[in-house]
A = this chain, B = another copy of it.
Amino acid sequence: MAKTSENPYVVQPVMKALRVLELVARHGHEIALTAVSKELRIPKTTTFRYLQTLSAAGFLDHNRATDRYTLGPQMRSIARADASVSKIRGLARPAMTELMHEFNETVNLAVKGNGTIVYIDLIEANRSLRMQARIGDSHPMHSTALGKAILAFLPEAERQRQLDLPLTERTGRTLLEREEIERQLRQVARTGYATEMGENEDGAMCIGAPILDEHGYPVAALSISAPLMRMPHSLAAKAGARLREIAAGISARLGSQPAIAPR
């Protein structure tokens, strides 16, 4: 077999299992062990083990009734998440660049993770003083403008569930009282953007607006972050309005209906 010649670091079991995964996935319908084994010329026993492993990991689904295999939830879930993220990133990027130039501050894009927000893109201002998140970082919902923007537009039940979790204290100014947080979230829902002042990182502030999908669900948020000293109230209000506007534009392109329908 000349298969190994390519890359000395490929682990054969993994490679073969991936071929099984691909075959099953592309088959488009339930397929049985023997069929896979014959098609790929991998002995039945080995194929069996791969199918078991792939199923155990959720990448395949084993229908016990028919003893056949299909694409599993894990694959679908990963694909969905990825498609959603890249769609949002793609839609947001031009607007983010524009925003960055407009205010000459760093612009961030984050999606809602499980109880956190995860940065998926950011465009850095060309300034010496800046404290940045990195793409892939997670931050708590309640201590960031990005998170507060999302929280404010979450369905009531889910928001309550989020706020019931223990709230970590990132800085001395991090909001921890339920009352105060809820008051702010109502405010965010009214104005359409959230503000955070030194609650996540000392000396830094952030203004964020939510991005809603076609169901009106806040899947992501857009923000501008700056050192506290560089962002006076008047400028913050202007930035908030601008963020709201741009985020709404992205939401619209995700299929979200604006509050007041045009046409």
Contacts and interface: CB of A to CB of B under 8 A. Distances in A.
Contact of A27 (B31, B50, B136): B136
Nearest to A51: B9
Contacts of A79: 75-76, 78-80, 82-83
Interface stretch (A10-18, A174-182, A187-195): A10-18
B53 A14 contact: yes
A49 interface: yes
Contacts of A10: 49, 52-53, 56
Interface in A58-87: 59, 71, 74-76, 78-83, 85
A159 B105 CA distance: 52
A80 B136 CA distance: 24
Contacts of A29: 120-121, 135-136
Given A29-B135, A82-B75, A11 B57 contact: no
A11 B54 CA distance: 9
Interface residues of A, number: 45
Which of A13, A79, A81, A85 counts the most B-chain CB atoms under 10 A from its CB? A79
Copies, count: 2
Interface in A20-58: 22, 25-31, 48-50, 52-54, 56-57
Contacts of A9: 48-49, 52-53
A19 B27 CA distance: 24
A124 to B, nearest CB: 15
A7 interface: yes
A59 B120 CA distance: 20
Interface of A: 6-7, 9-11, 13-15, 17-19, 22, 25-31, 48-50, 52-54, 56-57, 59, 71, 74-76, 78-83, 85, 111, 118, 120-121, 135-136
Given A13-B14, A14-B14, A79-B80, 16 more contacts: A7-B53, A9-B52, A10-B52, A10-B53, A10-B56, A15-B53, A15-B57, A18-B57, A22-B57, A25-B78, A27-B136, A28-B81, A28-B111, A28-B118, A29-B135, A75-B79
